[in-house]
């Protein structure tokens, strides 16, 4: 059959559709140290692994060979354990489909909504920022990064969300084998990545540089999971993502999956699991990824579950004017407390709301696709909104403004023109 030539990638010798590309950040040796997902342009619920976002807070570590990989379980347990991947594969496994979202995803929209939508509107789309190696320690930076203020403005906050399938073993399985002692309250998981947190990270989060940042010195990345979440059957230690072994950038050989909780809980490159009788003072839990009213707020709180959120992927602000007629309004929705049950759409800036079709999927931790067929007869400017409700009855938005701008789940208007 004679067809039009498909412009795109060559796959197994055949032309194919052009594939959405991630935005990569590389170090001076060309290794990927971070990336953003083109999730607006993907179809389905599982993000192809090469399109998953990548984030590393302190430093991308050196890889460990899977056959040499060992990790320890110790602390408030009857028996300490030392295990490798082969030992893990002998235990009863579990596969979990879930959304992982960086706590700082869409942070700039906090500022936009706070200003009543009068300031410049951030874009959900990927913008090109490669060449600024902003995740690297000072000595490895290729170019001078300029003053903090301009760097802080140059890093987009979007596209740090991924839907995936992870395979491993429940953390509770290991904890039960080790025998958790009464009095235990937390499980601290430590990665072997080490570094000194860059103050830019906090300045970027807060979108201001006029405050003092606590310096913990050189640390390993770690998080102290409250025992109840550690024992949840869907909290798993995973060595596979989307049907293949984990990639190094995603925490190989083994990482933690914490469905519903922000990405920073999903500890990568695990080498230590410590059961504790108190909450540990992890930097990325008591100084960063905390909510508070200001840097000086004495009452900062650890942040855990994500809110309840929907994002409109179609149409977009960037689109050319739409023709009169039928248009699909489409998007994704997810919640930190389980399944999305309802999506409502407004095409008149929030005066009236209509139920959208929520596409069936059996996985309560995964995002849902939704759509609404919009028939528009009158030319003009339209403001489209969507709001999600989850199985707990939590309606978007759930997360109040906080100075580090974490867990954004506000309702962002999409502005389109109909001709
Ligand atoms: N050991 C370790 N684990 C980590 C991090 C880290 O810096 N070190 N970053 C966390 C953060 S902030 C996020 S958003 C997720 C990102 O996971 P991904 O890179 O696989 O998308 O990993 C988390 N796990
Ligand atoms: Mo993150």
236 shares its domain with 314: no
Domain boundaries, position 331: 308-418
pLDDT tens digit string along 305-331?
Answer: 999 999 999 999 999 999 999 999 999
SS3 174: helix
Q: Is residue 124 packed enough to be buried (19+ CB in 10 Å), middle (13-18) or exposed (0-12)? A: buried
Is 87 within the bounds of a domain? Answer: yes
- Centroid of ligand 1 to alpha carbon of 87 (angstroms): 24
295 shares its domain with 150: yes
Q: What is the pLDDT of residue 167?
A: 98
pTM (predicted TM-score): 0.94
Mutate to test the pocket of ligand 1, among 263, 283, 287 (most ligand atoms within 8 A of CB): 263
166 shares its domain with 71: yes
317 shares its domain with 408: yes
Kind of pairing between the strands at 380-390 and 244-245: unpaired
End-to-end CA distance of the chain: 38
Phi, psi for 348 (deg, rounded to 5): -130, 35
Task: Give the C-alpha separation, 243 to 165, whole Å.
Answer: 7
Task: Give the C-alpha separation, 25 to 135, whole Å.
Answer: 8
112 shares its domain with 178: yes
281 shares its domain with 327: no
Is 43 within the bounds of a domain? Answer: no
Partners of 73 in the β-ladder: 81, 273
Rg (CA), the chain: 22
Of 240, 274, 302, the residue at which a domain comes to its end is 302
DSSP annotation of 263 reads G
**Which CATH number is 374's domain given?**
2.60.40.650
**Which CATH number is 103's domain given?**
3.90.420.10
262 shares its domain with 315: no
Low-confidence spans in the chain with pLDDT less than 50: 1, 130-146
Mutate to test the pocket of ligand 1, among 35, 223, 239, 264 (most ligand atoms within 8 A of CB): 264
- Per the structure, the count of domains in the chain is 2
pLDDT tens digit string along 104-133?
Answer: 999 999 999 999 988 888 888 876 554 443
Q: Locate the ligand 1 atom nearest the alpha carbon of residue 102 and give its number.
A: 14
Q: What is the pLDDT of residue 3?
A: 59
| Ligand 1, pocket residues at CB < 6 Å | 52-58, 100, 102, 162, 191, 193, 221, 250-251, 263-264, 266-269
Kind of pairing between the strands at 71-75 and 270-276: parallel
CB atoms within 10 A of CB 266: 23
312 shares its domain with 247: no
270 shares its domain with 323: no
346 shares its domain with 236: no
Nearest CA to ligand 1 atom 21: 54
Sequence-distant contacts of 350-354: CB under 8 A, at least 24 apart: 350/383, 350/385, 350/411, 353/387
Is 147 within the bounds of a domain? Answer: yes
233 shares its domain with 379: no
Contact 107, 205 (CB under 8 A): yes
Nearest CA to ligand 1 atom 20: 250
């Amino acid at each position: 059959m004679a067809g039009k030539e498909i412009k795109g990638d060559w796959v197994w010798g055949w032309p194919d559709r052009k594939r959405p590309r991630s935005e990569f950040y590389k170090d001076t040796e060309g290794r990927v140290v971070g990336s953003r997902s083109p999730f607006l342009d993907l179809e389905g619920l599982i993000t192809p692994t090469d399109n998953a976002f990548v984030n590393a807070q302190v430093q991308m570590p050196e890889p460990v060979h899977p056959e040499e990989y060992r990790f320890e379980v110790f602390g408030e347990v009857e028996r300490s354990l030392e295990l490798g991947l082969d030992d893990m594969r002998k235990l009863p496994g579990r596969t979990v489909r879930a959304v992982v979202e960086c706590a700082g995803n869409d942070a700039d929209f906090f500022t936009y909504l706070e200003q009543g939508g009068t300031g410049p509107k951030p874009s959900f789309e990927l913008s090109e920022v490669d060449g600024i190696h902003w995740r690297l320690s000072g000595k490895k930076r290729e170019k001078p990064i300029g003053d903090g203020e301009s760097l802080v403005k140059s890093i987009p906050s979007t596209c740090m969300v991924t839907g995936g399938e992870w395979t491993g073993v429940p953390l509770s399985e290991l904890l039960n084998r080790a025998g958790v002692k009464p009095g235990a309250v937390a499980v601290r998981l430590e990665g072997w990545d080490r570094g000194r947190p860059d103050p830019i990270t906090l300045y970027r989060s807060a979108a201001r540089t006029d405050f003092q940042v606590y310096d913990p010195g050189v640390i390993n990345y770690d998080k102290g999971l409250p025992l109840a979440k550690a024992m949840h059957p869907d909290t798993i230690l995973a060595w596979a993502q989307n049907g293949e072994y984990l990639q190094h950038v995603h925490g190989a050989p083994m990482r933690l999956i914490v469905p519903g909780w922000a990405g920073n809980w999903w500890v990568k490159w695990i080498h230590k699991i410590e059961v504790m009788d108190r909450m540990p003072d992890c930097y990325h839990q008591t100084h960063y990824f905390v909510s508070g009213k200001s840097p000086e707020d004495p009452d900062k709180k650890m942040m855990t579950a994500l809110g309840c959120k929907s994002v409109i992927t179609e149409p977009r602000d960037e689109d050319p004017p739409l023709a009169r007629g039928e248009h699909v309004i489409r998007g994704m929705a997810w919640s930190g407390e389980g399944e999305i049950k309802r999506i409502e759409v407004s095409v008149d800036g929030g005066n009236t709301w209509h139920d959208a079709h929520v596409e069936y999927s059996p996985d309560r931790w995964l995002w849902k696709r939704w759509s609404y067929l919009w028939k528009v007869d009158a030319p003009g400017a339209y403001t489209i909104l969507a709001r999600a409700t989850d199985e707990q009855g939590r309606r978007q938005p759930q997360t109040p403004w906080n100075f580090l701008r974490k867990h954004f789940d506000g309702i962002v208007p999409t502005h389109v023109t109909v001709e």
